[in-house]
């Protein structure tokens, strides 16, 4: 699809230019560039313009997830975005809805969907006071149905689904809206952070943890959303979408995970979905321990219905034959473990180097890819033992000294690495403990959902037999 001439492109921060500009390496893949494509990439970041070659290269790199949109000018003001309607699904949260509407740009159309409130009068009064259209369900049908009812009332080309416990930061709407100038993009989501006002060192451990590491916060790096990618989904706390691309909208049979399902269905239809952390909204996180743990477990229960609808997409672990060898060697803790792990890494590097033999430095590119795979595999092992597979890890730890060492090392090392990744100000011990509770609750929800569905699919790993992502056909 043709991009606007003033639409810009920049290489993703995780991608490295190699071979004198003829190859792009990163994200587990290599893309080889023709001479004309290399000339275009050398100008990045830049506007695409109207040239055919530049358009084709930009489109290919954006679709491959190795380039991100870029603009020389700041985004339009929120007040200047006039082709968007905000849909607010809610139930008995009249005060929160009033606060949300007051934080929106003036004059923006708003549809409030009352999903079976016990006090509908209060919500109706708020909608009337702020000039919002009110749609009412006489009984609670769930967030998916509420959003769909609001979607049917939208008369603009674009729609924002915004939960009532969200408060947008200035500049959020303009930063999101310009992504949809790309006709291939159907949906874009902002970064979701906690409410402001929690002072340095203030609040409970859970409050401070959620400020730094909420399940809704997908990090500071923009990305194309990909199944099993660095950003694999978007939360429905706030989403901007092209109405024409949504079809029937959310799956109303789902009470949890309906946002992930929508994203994956759009991706399956060949439509683009992007994450834009420059746009920020604030979410009122649950921080009371019981409610917080229950919410984490609730999120986990969505894995089973998602696994039924999208086989393999929700897999906790994605492995290849060589990463299986690497992981087994790490977990075995035998004398042969280190040599076997080194041989697996060396063999994979050599195999990849043969596939990249037309590169100027095939060994270097292969080593980068192999190390990326080893790091990702080690991270998956640690996260798997303490999150999705913690019941199995517990049984192993109770029966084996090696199991106890593996679980304890994984619990500590993964927690420390995660704290460093999010740059949390919470102390080391509190962070690791709360992080472990987070994972235990989520993993419990996954197991409960799997038992309720009578299906293990949400817990099964995905085996990739080839290294297709490294093939990197020429652009």
d(CA 41, CA 475): 11
Between 255 and 190, whose confidence is greater? 190
> Are the beta carbons of 188 and 240 closer than 8 angstroms?
yes
* Residue 343 in this model has a pLDDT that exceeds 60: yes
Lowest mean pLDDT among 13-17, 45-49, 117-121, 237-241: 13-17
CA atoms within 13 A on the CB side of 237: 23
Output the CA–CA distances (angstroms, integers) from residue 75 to 7, 11, 177, 184, 226, in the order listed.
Answer: 12, 19, 9, 19, 25
Q: Percent of the chain at pLDDT above 70?
A: 96
* Residue 21 in this model has a pLDDT that exceeds 90: no
- 374: CB partners within 8 A, 6+ apart: 323, 326, 345
CA-based nearest residue to 339, from 354, 326, 355, 357: 326
* Residue 298 in this model has a pLDDT that exceeds 80: yes
- What's the pTM value of the predicted model, to 2 decimals? 0.91
> Are the beta carbons of 172 and 283 closer than 8 angstroms?
no
For the chain, residues classed under CATH 3.90.550.10 are 78-286
User: From start to end of 225-374, where are the E strands?
Assistant: 238-242, 272-283, 318-319
* Residue 199 in this model has a pLDDT that exceeds 70: no
Average pLDDT, the chain: 92
Cβ of 213: how many Cβ atoms within 10 Å? 21
d(CA 97, CA 435): 31
| CA 243 to mean position of chain CA atoms | 21
pLDDT at 471: 40
- For the domain 78-286, what is the CATH code? 3.90.550.10
The residue whose two tokens read 């009578």 is 454
d(CA 283, CA 151): 22
Angle CA 105–109–114, to nearest 5: 110
Between 85 and 359, whose confidence is greater? 85
Confidence of residue 18 (pLDDT cuts 50, 70, 90): confident
* Residue 410 in this model has a pLDDT that exceeds 50: yes
pLDDT at 467: 45
pLDDT digits (tens, 9 = 90+) for 379-406: 999 999 999 999 999 999 999 999 999 9
d(CA 436, CA 413): 11
Q: Token pair of 13, please? A: 């921060």
Q: Token pair of 114, please? A: 């009352």
């Amino acid at each position: 699809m043709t991009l606007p001439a003033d639409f810009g492109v920049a290489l993703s921060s995780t991608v490295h230019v190699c071979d004198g500009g003829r190859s792009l390496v990163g994200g587990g893949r290599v893309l080889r560039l023709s001479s004309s494509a290399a000339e275009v990439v050398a100008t990045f970041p830049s506007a695409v313009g109207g040239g055919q070659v530049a358009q084709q290269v930009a489109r290919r790199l954006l679709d491959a997830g190795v380039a991100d949109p870029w603009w020389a000018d700041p985004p339009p003001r929120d007040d200047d975005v006039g082709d968007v309607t905000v849909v607010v699904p809610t139930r008995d949260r009249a005060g929160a809805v009033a606060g949300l509407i007051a934080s929106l740009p003036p004059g923006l159309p708003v549809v409030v969907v009352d999903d079976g409130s016990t006090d509908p009068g209060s919500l109706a009064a708020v909608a009337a006071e702020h000039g919002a259209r009110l749609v009412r369900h006489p009984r609670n049908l769930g967030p998916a149905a509420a959003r769909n009812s609001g979607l049917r009332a939208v008369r603009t080309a674009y729609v924002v689904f915004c939960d009532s416990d969200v408060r947008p930061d200035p500049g959020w709407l303009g930063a999101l809206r310009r992504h949809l100038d790309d006709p291939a993009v159907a949906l874009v989501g902002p970064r979701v952070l906690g409410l402001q006002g929690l002072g340095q060192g203030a609040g409970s451990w859970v409050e401070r943890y959620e400020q730094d590491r909420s399940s809704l916060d997908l990090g500071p790096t923009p990305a194309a959303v990909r199944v099993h990618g660095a950003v694999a989904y978007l939360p429905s706390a706030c989403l901007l979408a092209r109405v024409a691309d949504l079809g029937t909208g959310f799956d109303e049979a789902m009470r949890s995970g309906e946002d992930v399902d929508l994203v994956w269905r759009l991706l399956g239809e060949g439509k683009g979905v992007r994450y834009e952390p420059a746009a920020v909204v604030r979410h009122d996180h649950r921080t009371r321990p019981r409610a917080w743990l229950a919410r984490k477990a609730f999120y986990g229960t969505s894995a089973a219905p998602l696994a039924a609808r999208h086989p393999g997409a929700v897999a906790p672990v994605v492995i290849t034959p060589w990463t299986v060898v690497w992981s087994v060697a790490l977990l075995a803790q035998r004398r042969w473990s280190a040599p076997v792990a080194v041989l697996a890494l060396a063999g994979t590097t050599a195999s990849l180097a043969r596939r990249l033999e037309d590169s100027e430095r095939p060994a270097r590119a292969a080593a980068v890819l192999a190390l990326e795979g080893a790091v990702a595999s080690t991270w998956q092992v640690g996260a798997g033992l303490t999150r999705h597979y913690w019941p199995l890890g517990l049984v192993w730890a109770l029966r084996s000294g090696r199991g106890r060492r593996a679980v304890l090392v994984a619990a500590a090392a993964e927690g420390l690495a995660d704290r460093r990744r999010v740059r949390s100000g919470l102390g080391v011990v509190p962070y690791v403990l709360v992080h472990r509770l987070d994972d235990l609750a989520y993993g419990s929800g996954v197991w409960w959902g799997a038992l309720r569905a009578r299906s293990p699919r949400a817990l099964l790993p995905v085996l990739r037999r080839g290294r297709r992502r490294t093939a990197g056909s020429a652009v």
